[in-house]
Amino acid sequence: MSRHISIVMLYTVAMDHDLADALELRITRIFSTVLRPTFTELSRTSTSVLAALRDEGPCRITALAAREAVAQPTMTTLVGRLEREGLAERRRDPSDGRGVQVVITQEGRALLRRLQARRAAAMAARLEHLDAGEREALAAALPALEHLIAKTPEGAAA
Protein backbone atom coordinates (compact mmCIF):
# COMPACT_ATOMS: atom_id res chain seq x y z
CA MET A 1 0.00 0.00 0.00
CA SER A 2 2.73 2.52 0.90
CA ARG A 3 4.58 1.62 -2.33
CA HIS A 4 1.43 2.51 -4.28
CA ILE A 5 1.20 5.87 -2.50
CA SER A 6 4.88 6.55 -3.28
CA ILE A 7 4.36 5.83 -6.99
CA VAL A 8 1.27 8.06 -7.05
CA MET A 9 3.14 10.83 -5.24
CA LEU A 10 6.10 10.57 -7.65
CA TYR A 11 3.73 10.65 -10.62
CA THR A 12 1.98 13.73 -9.18
CA VAL A 13 5.30 15.50 -8.59
CA ALA A 14 6.37 14.73 -12.17
CA MET A 15 3.04 16.04 -13.49
CA ASP A 16 3.40 19.21 -11.39
CA HIS A 17 6.90 19.74 -12.77
CA ASP A 18 5.65 19.25 -16.33
CA LEU A 19 2.80 21.67 -15.65
CA ALA A 20 5.22 24.20 -14.17
CA ASP A 21 7.43 23.93 -17.27
CA ALA A 22 4.44 24.30 -19.59
CA LEU A 23 3.05 27.29 -17.67
CA GLU A 24 6.43 29.03 -17.56
CA LEU A 25 6.85 28.61 -21.32
CA ARG A 26 3.34 29.91 -22.12
CA ILE A 27 3.53 32.86 -19.72
CA THR A 28 6.91 33.87 -21.14
CA ARG A 29 5.63 33.60 -24.70
CA ILE A 30 2.47 35.60 -23.91
CA PHE A 31 4.61 38.33 -22.40
CA SER A 32 7.06 38.30 -25.32
CA THR A 33 4.54 38.22 -28.15
CA VAL A 34 1.53 40.06 -26.74
CA LEU A 35 2.48 42.26 -23.81
CA ARG A 36 6.12 43.33 -24.32
CA PRO A 37 5.25 45.43 -27.40
CA THR A 38 2.91 47.51 -25.19
CA PHE A 39 5.82 48.66 -22.98
CA THR A 40 6.74 51.59 -25.21
CA GLU A 41 5.93 54.44 -22.84
CA LEU A 42 7.44 53.01 -19.67
CA SER A 43 9.85 50.16 -18.93
CA ARG A 44 8.62 46.97 -17.32
CA THR A 45 10.48 47.83 -14.10
CA SER A 46 9.08 51.36 -13.97
CA THR A 47 5.61 49.98 -14.57
CA SER A 48 6.12 47.40 -11.82
CA VAL A 49 7.32 50.06 -9.36
CA LEU A 50 4.34 52.31 -10.08
CA ALA A 51 1.96 49.36 -9.74
CA ALA A 52 3.53 48.45 -6.38
CA LEU A 53 3.14 52.03 -5.17
CA ARG A 54 -0.48 52.05 -6.34
CA ASP A 55 -1.33 48.66 -4.82
CA GLU A 56 0.77 48.69 -1.64
CA GLY A 57 1.09 52.39 -0.89
CA PRO A 58 4.13 54.54 -0.12
CA CYS A 59 7.42 52.69 0.07
CA ARG A 60 11.09 53.38 0.78
CA ILE A 61 13.56 53.16 -2.07
CA THR A 62 15.44 50.31 -0.37
CA ALA A 63 12.24 48.25 -0.18
CA LEU A 64 11.41 48.99 -3.83
CA ALA A 65 14.93 47.93 -4.83
CA ALA A 66 14.57 44.67 -2.92
CA ARG A 67 11.13 44.05 -4.44
CA GLU A 68 12.45 44.56 -7.97
CA ALA A 69 15.76 42.76 -7.29
CA VAL A 70 17.89 45.74 -8.32
CA ALA A 71 20.61 47.67 -6.52
CA GLN A 72 19.55 50.62 -4.38
CA PRO A 73 21.42 53.15 -6.59
CA THR A 74 19.60 51.75 -9.64
CA MET A 75 16.25 52.25 -7.89
CA THR A 76 17.25 55.76 -6.83
CA THR A 77 17.91 56.60 -10.50
CA LEU A 78 14.61 55.03 -11.58
CA VAL A 79 12.65 56.93 -8.91
CA GLY A 80 14.37 60.15 -9.98
CA ARG A 81 13.19 59.53 -13.54
CA LEU A 82 9.64 58.82 -12.36
CA GLU A 83 9.74 62.07 -10.35
CA ARG A 84 10.92 64.13 -13.34
CA GLU A 85 8.08 62.65 -15.40
CA GLY A 86 5.57 63.56 -12.67
CA LEU A 87 4.63 59.92 -12.05
CA ALA A 88 5.94 59.63 -8.47
CA GLU A 89 7.22 61.86 -5.72
CA ARG A 90 9.29 61.54 -2.58
CA ARG A 91 7.83 62.48 0.79
CA ARG A 92 9.16 62.37 4.32
CA ASP A 93 8.39 59.10 6.06
CA PRO A 94 5.84 60.00 8.76
CA SER A 95 7.16 57.21 11.01
CA ASP A 96 10.81 58.31 10.62
CA GLY A 97 11.49 61.96 9.75
CA ARG A 98 14.97 61.05 8.47
CA GLY A 99 13.58 58.63 5.89
CA VAL A 100 11.86 59.21 2.58
CA GLN A 101 9.03 57.30 0.98
CA VAL A 102 8.09 57.19 -2.68
CA VAL A 103 4.43 57.86 -3.53
CA ILE A 104 2.61 57.47 -6.84
CA THR A 105 1.01 60.65 -8.22
CA GLN A 106 -2.38 61.01 -9.89
CA GLU A 107 -0.54 61.25 -13.23
CA GLY A 108 1.20 57.96 -12.40
CA ARG A 109 -2.15 56.33 -11.65
CA ALA A 110 -3.61 57.65 -14.91
CA LEU A 111 -0.65 56.30 -16.88
CA LEU A 112 -1.05 52.85 -15.30
CA ARG A 113 -4.74 52.85 -16.30
CA ARG A 114 -3.79 53.72 -19.91
CA LEU A 115 -1.10 51.05 -20.02
CA GLN A 116 -3.45 48.43 -18.58
CA ALA A 117 -6.06 49.33 -21.20
CA ARG A 118 -3.43 49.00 -23.95
CA ARG A 119 -2.34 45.57 -22.67
CA ALA A 120 -5.95 44.44 -22.36
CA ALA A 121 -6.63 45.56 -25.93
CA ALA A 122 -3.59 43.63 -27.17
CA MET A 123 -4.82 40.54 -25.34
CA ALA A 124 -8.40 41.02 -26.60
CA ALA A 125 -7.11 41.15 -30.18
CA ARG A 126 -5.52 37.74 -29.65
CA LEU A 127 -8.58 36.31 -27.90
CA GLU A 128 -10.71 37.15 -30.95
CA HIS A 129 -8.84 34.41 -32.84
CA LEU A 130 -9.81 31.70 -30.36
CA ASP A 131 -12.98 29.69 -30.61
CA ALA A 132 -15.63 29.85 -27.89
CA GLY A 133 -14.38 26.67 -26.20
CA GLU A 134 -10.83 27.97 -25.96
CA ARG A 135 -12.02 31.27 -24.50
CA GLU A 136 -14.20 29.38 -21.99
CA ALA A 137 -11.21 27.22 -20.99
CA LEU A 138 -9.13 30.35 -20.36
CA ALA A 139 -11.96 31.92 -18.35
CA ALA A 140 -12.30 28.74 -16.29
CA ALA A 141 -8.57 28.83 -15.52
CA LEU A 142 -8.63 32.40 -14.16
CA PRO A 143 -9.51 31.48 -10.53
CA ALA A 144 -6.69 28.91 -10.44
CA LEU A 145 -4.25 31.45 -11.90
CA GLU A 146 -5.31 34.02 -9.31
CA HIS A 147 -4.79 31.44 -6.57
CA LEU A 148 -1.38 30.59 -8.04
CA ILE A 149 -0.39 34.28 -7.98
CA ALA A 150 -1.51 34.66 -4.35
CA LYS A 151 0.53 31.66 -3.16
CA THR A 152 4.15 32.73 -2.70
CA PRO A 153 6.47 29.84 -1.82
CA GLU A 154 8.29 30.23 1.47
CA GLY A 155 11.55 32.08 0.99
CA ALA A 156 10.60 33.39 -2.46
CA ALA A 157 10.12 37.05 -3.29
CA ALA A 158 6.50 38.16 -3.46
The contacts of residue 129 (CB under 8 Å, 6+ apart) are: none
CA distances from 31 to 43, 75, 148, 150 (A): 13, 23, 17, 19
Q: pLDDT (tens digit, 9 = 90+) per residue, 58-90?
A: 999 999 999 999 999 999 999 999 999 999 999
> Domain extents for the chain?
1-38, 42-150
Note whether 124 and 132 are within 8 A (CB). no
CATH fold group of domain 42-150: Arc Repressor Mutant, subunit A (1.10.10)
Q: pLDDT (tens digit, 9 = 90+) per residue, 20-45?
A: 888 888 888 988 888 787 777 888 89
Q: pLDDT (tens digit, 9 = 90+) per residue, 96-149?
A: 878 899 999 999 999 999 999 988 999 999 999 999 999 999 999 999 999 988
Give the whole-angstrom CA distance, residue 54 versus residue 87.
Answer: 11
At 14 the pLDDT is 60
- What percent of the chain is modeled with pLDDT above 90? 57
Model pTM above 0.85: no
- What percent of the chain is modeled with pLDDT above 70? 86
